[in-house]
Amino acid sequence: MSSLKEQLQQHEAAIQALEITSAKALEEYRIQYLGTKGIVKMIFGEMKNVPVTEKKEAGQLLNAFKQMAEAKYAAHEHLKDAGNDSSPREDLSLPGDALPLGTRHPLRKVENEIVSIFEKIGFSVATGPEIEDDWHNFTSLNMPENHTARDMQDTFYVSRNPDYVLRTHTSSVQARVMEKGQLPVRVICPGRVYRNETISARAHCFFHQCEGLYIDKNVSFADLKQTLYYFVKEMFGEDVRVRFRPSYFPFTEPSAEMDISCTVCGGSGCSLCKHTGWVEILGCGMVHPNMLRNFNIDPDVYTGFAFGMGVERITQIKYQVNDLRLYSQNDVRFLRQFQSL
Ligand code: DAH
């Protein structure tokens, strides 16, 4: 018993004297004292030689020794994480991980493209408010109150008397530009518009338009056609054919709608062109003299043309997106497809 006690005292003194300053030294300590072939296990093995009468006291001494040895280990365990190697583990010279790139929304991308096509031929961008008064959205555009043409656009009213609406088209920006009284005018007006439509694959309560307006002396329908031919070639390519159909808009006279040959089937017929070979892309016409008069522009001196196109429509044709709801659902699986554009 006394020899066991002595042994333990010696080991204890040795442990206490030991200075552990590195993870490596800590591991050596663990192996030497606490490992499966370590000193603690070895001394426990000697219990079988201790006479029965002394077993109790010996057991207590051994347990105290074991706890002391383990406590020493625990007190230095933090060294394990720090390591004893003072050089940095990371290679700071490596390039960082690339951040995932966001994508431009397809509508914004197409809007930018439309704008830059017109900027190349001297148009500049004009914008206006989305909450618009009756005058700029309707009345000044030759659509007085009770005019049946107001039925063409189901309107969200923000207030009544005075009437404020969510603008139903970007033609309201035409009015805002004309009232500035600076001639000539050559603007392209992109923006969001609102209509009281039930949301479906083919209709939405908000969408985007791009309006064009050109007013100067001697502007003719031929100028309108050439400008739009140029736009179509830039946007859809050289091979696309164009046709104009007579139409009606209160703010233009004469008015027309423009179709392009279907870019999906080339004219042979598919679901995009509803098997006609043609897809409508915009409304246009010569600015109505009444509208010019509304802004004190003399229609005998100045003439102009205007056009308005749907950005969703152009995007649908370019990228064959056949459900309008996709544009506003924020589904990354849809949006990621435009990553490299
Ligand atoms: N504002 C019309 C619409 O929303 C589109 C339009 C047609 C605009 C003819 C024009 C135009 O400027 O001349 O349906």
Residues 74 and 112 reside in one and the same domain: no
Q: Does ligand 1 come within 6 angstroms of the Cβ of 169?
A: yes
Q: Does ligand 1 come within 6 angstroms of the Cβ of 306?
A: yes
* pLDDT at residue 225, as a whole number: 98
Q: Which helix (H) or strand (E) holds 312?
A: helix 311-319
Q: Residue 243: is its pLDDT beyond 90?
A: yes
Cβ atoms of 57 and 31 within 8 Å: the answer is: no
Could you give the percent of the chain with pLDDT greater than 90?
69
* pLDDT at residue 84, as a whole number: 52
Kindly state whether residue 309 falls inside one of the protein's structural domains.
Answer: yes
Rounded to the nearest 5°, which phi and psi values hold at 21? -125, 0
Question: To the nearest whole number, what is the mean pLDDT of the chain?
Answer: 92
Tokens of 221: 């329908």
Kindly state whether residue 223 falls inside one of the protein's structural domains.
Answer: yes
* pLDDT at residue 4, as a whole number: 82
Rounded average pLDDT over 26-46: 90
Residues 38 and 167 reside in one and the same domain: no
Q: Residue 86: is its pLDDT beyond 80?
A: no
Q: Residue 272: is its pLDDT beyond 80?
A: yes
Helix axes 311-319, 106-119, angle to 10 degrees: 110
Q: What is the bridge-based pairing of β-strands 185-194 and 124-125?
A: parallel
- Give residue 19's domain range: 2-82
Residues 72 and 111 reside in one and the same domain: no
Residue 184 CB neighbours (<10 A): 12
Residues 168 and 267 reside in one and the same domain: yes
Residues 30 and 170 reside in one and the same domain: no
Residues 318 and 221 reside in one and the same domain: yes
Residues 261 and 195 reside in one and the same domain: yes
* pLDDT at residue 325, as a whole number: 96
Kindly state whether residue 276 falls inside one of the protein's structural domains.
Answer: yes
> Minimal CA–CA distance to 183: which of 221, 212, 140, 216?
216
Residues 221 and 311 reside in one and the same domain: yes
- Is this prediction's pTM over 0.75? no
Q: Does ligand 1 come within 6 angstroms of the Cβ of 310?
A: no
Residue 325 CB neighbours (<10 A): 14
Atom of ligand 1 nearest to the CA of 169: 4
Q: Does ligand 1 come within 6 angstroms of the Cβ of 195?
A: no
Residues 287 and 254 reside in one and the same domain: yes
Rounded average pLDDT over 286-311: 98
Residues 135 and 268 reside in one and the same domain: yes
* pLDDT at residue 230, as a whole number: 98
Q: List the Cα angle 266/272/274 in 5-degree steps.
A: 95
Nearest CA to ligand 1 atom 4: 169
- The model's confidence at residue 291, banded by pLDDT at 50, 70 and 90, is very high
Residues 115 and 190 reside in one and the same domain: yes
Q: Residue 244: is its pLDDT beyond 90?
A: yes
Atom of ligand 1 nearest to the CA of 174: 12
Residues 257 and 138 reside in one and the same domain: yes
Q: Residue 148: is its pLDDT beyond 90?
A: no
- The model's confidence at residue 82, banded by pLDDT at 50, 70 and 90, is low
Number of domains in the chain: 2
